[in-house]
Copies of this chain bind each other. A is one copy, B any other.
Amino acid sequence: MTDLPREPSPWRTLSSRPVYANAWMRVREDQVLRPDGAPGVYGVIEPVRVATGVVALTDAGEVWLVGQYRYPTEVYSWEIIEGGADPHEDPLEGARRELKEEAGLEAADWRLLGGELHLSNCITAERAFIYLARGLRQVEAAPEATEVLRLLRVPLARALDLVDQGAIQDAVSVIGLTLAERALRRGG
């Protein structure tokens, strides 16, 4: 894919034990020899699902944003359409499902933005795939805006201003919006 140099792991795993699990993640602790040869521990978070994001772009150049309260960060967060795919499922299928469930939309044109992304690679094995979806068609009434989920449509340029201002804080959303703008600018 590129000529960037890559090297094998300088870590050695001596043993591994599960320390916590729920329906969405496993946590394990490995006994390791670090790159400098010293012994240590490494705690690794393994999410069960693959994260997916969808930049749903209308013919008029607007993107759909979803607002919801995020329990771990304790903030109300405006984001692109996000969800998860099962580990052995094509992430695109998960993205299609979320677009339909959250906004009642189908898209004719899907494009992967970047490649497989790693959201927090110091502590998690989480993988994410983010798509640009165009040729949108409303197939169901969009879900009612409840206290749980709100929907907005804003011009892509406005969404990027919200990123610059720090009002959109979610990493998958920032990556999706900036890479979508790049793809469009380069005539994608």
Contacts and interface: CB of A to CB of B under 8 A. Distances in A.
Contacts of A77: 118, 121
Contacts of A142: none
Binding site secondary structure of chain A: mixed
B123 A45 contact: yes
Given A5-B150, A36-B148, A124 B72 contact: yes
Interface in A97-148: 114-128, 147-148
A171 interface: yes
Contacts of A86: none
A69 to B, nearest CB: 5
B2 A115 contact: no
Contact of A119 (B119, B125, B160, B168): B119
A178 B22 CA distance: 35
Given A115-B169, A116-B166, A72 B121 contact: yes
B117 A120 contact: no
Interface string A7-36: 111110000000110101101010010011
Contacts of A122: 24, 47, 51, 70, 72
Interface of A: 1-2, 4-11, 19-20, 22, 24-25, 27, 29, 32, 35-36, 41-45, 47, 51, 67, 69-78, 114-128, 147-148, 150, 152, 160, 162-172, 174-175, 178-179, 182-183
